[in-house]
Amino acid sequence: MLVGGIVGWGEGHDDIFDPNSLRNRDNCLEPFRVLRAQALARDIHLHTLDTLSNRGISPNFNLYIESLPLIPIEGCKNYLVRFETELTVRINGDSSYLKQFDGVFTWDFELLDLNSKSALSQELREVPKFPITYPNVSPADFRLNAIVNPGFANRDIFCALIGSNRHANVADSRELYSERVKAIRWFESHAPGDFSLFGNGWHVPQKRLGAIGKLQYRLEKIIPFVTRRSVFPSYQGPASTKFEVYSRSKFSICFENAKDIRGYITEKIFDCLFAGCVPIYLGDSAIEEFVPKACFIDFREFQNKSDPYGELYSYIKNMNEATFLGYQHAGRDFLNSPRFAPFTSEAFAESILRPIES
């Protein structure tokens, strides 16, 4: 028998495994419940570290689900599940932090490539690294062989964006938080009736990086506060669920937090496909190796235009229903194919447990 502790991403007390947890929004905790169930089948017992401590049990290994300070425990191995890029979680690019672990689970092709010449890869050459993908949870109303709201019927939102008002934590040309704001502002100025913004934090101006950025943010808050005008007129508040919003939407601005980082494919594009919404994608430059091009609109095809969002809007506004259905059918076929299997909770759990067990 092996005993494993979970560190981070929760309130503790095994909350990460509780389907009734208040944090289980859009059933986002399912991958950890699947991980626990598959672990138990291997005689590996998983609990949050505080639960083990309260029971006086010392773990054989700890899984750090967030980049938190290492807790030394004698005889205990420590593994990091590196979900985010260093643009969002700065310490994920700190070799001195990553070297503390007995292994790192990551989607990052650059780190997984033994021949990579990147500075971080070279510094972590001696640290074992294991490949994972972001796990994706099928919504309760999703049906594998069906299309939700096929065609234009019952889709009263033309184009949506679901996300939080955040910024990158390092200055980097690959960040896409600011590009999302460009998209929001374009639609609000040129097609306000065809765009809806959902998520958290959009009642205030765009969040910004650094001391100057924070000062600019504070100054930008003054005029909306005095005039009582909405900072983002398209803002509709938090989404009840992503599936509910996307099943009513024809298209979605589906930008990752960062672009051109190989392997960084999060839940965003899959959230759209589950609901029959056509994603307008920007992120991993090799996305077509994983998700067929027929499933999504590649925003890179518009970026070299003089008016990228104008060209994009013209394309989606003039799209006929047959073409739209073609995107939906391609998305359904992909989700029903072996190509989607690596992105499931079951595959995620297997990717974690196999190296630990061996």
Nearest to 50 by CA among 68, 38, 34, 37: 68
Lowest mean pLDDT among 207-211, 240-244, 261-265, 313-317: 207-211
What's residue 218's pLDDT? Answer: 66
DSSP 42-87: TTEEEEEHHHHHHTT---SEEEESS-------TT-EEEEEE-S-TT
What's residue 11's pLDDT? Answer: 80
Domain boundaries, the chain: 2-136+344-357, 157-335
pLDDT range class, residue 221, cuts 50, 70, 90: low
- The CATH number assigned to the domain with range 2-136+344-357 reads 3.40.50
3-state DSSP assignment of residue 227: helix
| Fold equal for 2-136+344-357 and 157-335 | yes
**Side-chain-side CA neighbours of residue 241 (13 Å):** 18
What's residue 315's pLDDT? Answer: 98
Q: Is the pLDDT of residue 228 over 60?
A: no
How confident is the model over 270-327, as pLDDT tens digits? 999 999 999 999 999 999 999 999 999 999 999 989 999 999 999 999 999 999 999 9
Q: Is the pLDDT of residue 225 over 60?
A: no
How many C-beta neighbours within 10 Å does residue 2 have? 15
CATH of 157-335, one of 3.40.50.1100, 3.30.365.10, 3.40.50.11660, 3.40.50.720: 3.40.50.11660
Q: Are 278 and 252 in contact (CB under 8 A)?
A: yes
Query: Parallel, antiparallel, or unpaired: how do β-strands 195-198 and 249-255 relate?
Result: unpaired
Nearest to 328 by CA among 357, 289, 302, 292: 292
pLDDT range class, residue 35, cuts 50, 70, 90: very high
What's residue 51's pLDDT? Answer: 97
Q: Is the pLDDT of residue 145 over 70?
A: yes
